[in-house]
Amino acid sequence: MSTVPILKTISCIDDDEDILAIVDMALQLDGDLEVSTYQSALEALETLPRTVPDLILLDVMMPEMDGQQVLESLRQRPTLVATPVIFMTARVQAQEVERYHALGVAGVISKPFDPITLSGDIRRIWSEAYGRH
* CB of residue 105 to other proteins, shortest distance in Å: 17
| 90 belongs to the binding site for other proteins (CB under 8 A) | yes
State how far Cα 36 lies from the chain centre.
Answer: 11
Examine residue 25 and tell whether it contacts other proteins (CB under 8 A).
yes
Whether the bond into 63 is cis, omega within 30 of 0: no
13 near 44, Cβ under 8 Å? yes
| 92 binds other proteins per the rule CB under 8 A | no
| Among the listed residues 75, 77, 111, 123, the single contact to other proteins using CB under 8 A | 111
**Distance, CA of 46 to CA of 116 (rounded, Å):** 31
- Which candidate, 96, 100, 119, 116, places its Cα nearest to that of 12? 119
Question: By CB under 8 A, is residue 86 in contact with other proteins?
Answer: no
* 77 binds other proteins per the rule CB under 8 A: no
How buried is residue 60: exposed, middle or buried, by Cβ count under 10 Å (0-12/13-18/19+)?
buried
- Residue choice 18, 94, 102, 133 for contact with other proteins (CB under 8 A): 18
Residues 26-45 that bind other proteins (CB under 8 A): 26, 28-29, 31
Phi, psi of 77 (to 5 degrees): -90, 125
State which residue, 85 or 118, has the beta carbon closest to other proteins.
118
Binding site for other proteins (CB under 8 A): 16-19, 21-22, 25-26, 28-29, 31, 61, 63, 90, 111-116
